[in-house]
């Protein structure tokens, strides 16, 4: 799962990045709304964390504007404004959750994870889907993968790469897109980390092979 964190306080931004990465998320960070806007244009996210009051403006208005254009990504607002009216306004104008500073990092991580999964603290991106390709089934709610009814044990990276391939419904997925989805923008597309994960997935999925190399592009999963 990939998260965008927009926070202008350098120390807090670094701490948020470390806490979320330590919990297994891929994380990108931005210090202001223009940088967040650029990241959102380039990448797909499962959740976005915004400090409300930024030098470039109130993130609440920014999120509300994107919501009006149909943007579905769940949002967690961070703020020192703790009145009931502020919290209601945050939720009414596009927030999925609202966390008042100071807060405990484990609570933030739990809330982000819940938003990514469409949990009770917010609407999330919708119900978790079950993806299928041939006799492989990926249960997005339980984060489980089976083949021919047999449960497979996958690492987080293996699960995310497989999820993106199955989401593509038989279309080729570029190396850059797979790395962006399962890692973060700091990962080097020229490295062999993706190839190692693909090799392990093929081994765990067994015969017949469902993940195919598309030369010059990346990989494709077909049944």
pTM of the model: 0.56
CA distance 96 to 188: 32
CATH topology match: 2-116 vs 130-221: no
Report domain 130-221's class: mainly alpha
Residue carrying structure tokens 């593509």:
168
Which sequence spans correspond to the domains of the chain? 2-116, 130-221
Model confidence pLDDT, tens digit, residues 206-219 = 999 999 999 988 99
Model confidence pLDDT, tens digit, residues 7-41 = 999 999 999 999 999 988 889 999 999 999 888 88
Architecture (CATH level 2) of domain 2-116 = 3-Layer(aba) Sandwich (3.40)
Instruction: Report the percentage of the chain scoring pLDDT > 90.
Output: 40
């Amino acid at each position: 799962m990939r998260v965008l964190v927009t926070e202008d306080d350098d120390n807090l931004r670094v701490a948020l990045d470390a806490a979320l990465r330590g919990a297994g998320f891929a994380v990108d960070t931005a210090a202001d709304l223009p940088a967040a806007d650029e990241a959102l244009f380039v990448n797909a996210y499962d959740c976005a964390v915004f400090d409300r009051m930024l030098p470039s403006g109130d993130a609440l208005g920014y999120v509300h504007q994107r919501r009006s254009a149909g943007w579905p990504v769940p949002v967690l607002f961070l703020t020192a404004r703790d009145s009931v009216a502020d919290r209601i306004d945050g939720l009414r104008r596009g927030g999925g959750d609202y966390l008042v500073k100071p807060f405990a990092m484990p609570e933030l991580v739990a809330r982000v994870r819940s938003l990514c999964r469409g949990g009770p603290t917010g609407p999330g991106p919708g119900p978790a889907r079950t993806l299928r390709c041939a006799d492989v089934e990926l249960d997005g709610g339980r984060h489980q993968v089976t083949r021919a009814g047999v449960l497979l044990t996958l690492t987080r990276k293996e699960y995310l790469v497989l999820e993106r391939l199955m989401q593509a419904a038989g279309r080729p997925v570029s190396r850059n897109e797979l790395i962006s989805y399962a890692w973060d923008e700091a990962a080097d597309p020229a490295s062999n980390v993706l190839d190692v994960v693909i090799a392990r997935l093929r081994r765990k999925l067994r015969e017949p092979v469902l993940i195919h190399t598309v030369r010059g592009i990346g990989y494709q999963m077909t049944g």
